[in-house]
Amino acid sequence: MQLGTRWTVGADAPAALPEAVVAAVREVEAELAAIDEPGFDPSQWRWTLTWLEGRPVVELDDGTRITYDPTSGTASVTAPE
């Protein structure tokens, strides 16, 4: 595992990420922005990027995880438990 970087929700994702992962990050952020609950403010949440066997794994502070399958070129989002 190789440590990558961290960035705040709403900021630009690292350029090294495949477009499918960036699109998944944007989808999750859009879902967060649509939540209208008193006291809910994910604006200071951060994404953490690590590289596992050369593949990006992105995790949000709440436990949401995005993984990438280079064979199919797709990203999968796993909600926190």
The tally of domains found in the chain comes to 1
Residue 1 pLDDT > 90 = no
pLDDT of residue 2: 60
Residue type, 65: R
Residue 43: domain span: 2-78
Higher-confidence position of 4 and 45: 45
Instruction: Give me 28's structure tokens.
Output: 């999750």
pLDDT at position 3: 67
DSSP symbols for 6-63: EEETTSPPPTTS-HHHHHHHHHHHHHHHH---TT--GGG-EEEEEEETTEEEEEETTS
Considering the chain, what is the average pLDDT of its residues? 94
Decide if pLDDT at 22 tops 70: yes
**Which residues are CB-neighbours of 77 under 8 A, at least 6 positions away?**
24, 27, 28, 64, 65, 66
37-68 per-position pLDDT tens digit: 999 999 999 999 999 998 999 999 999 999 99
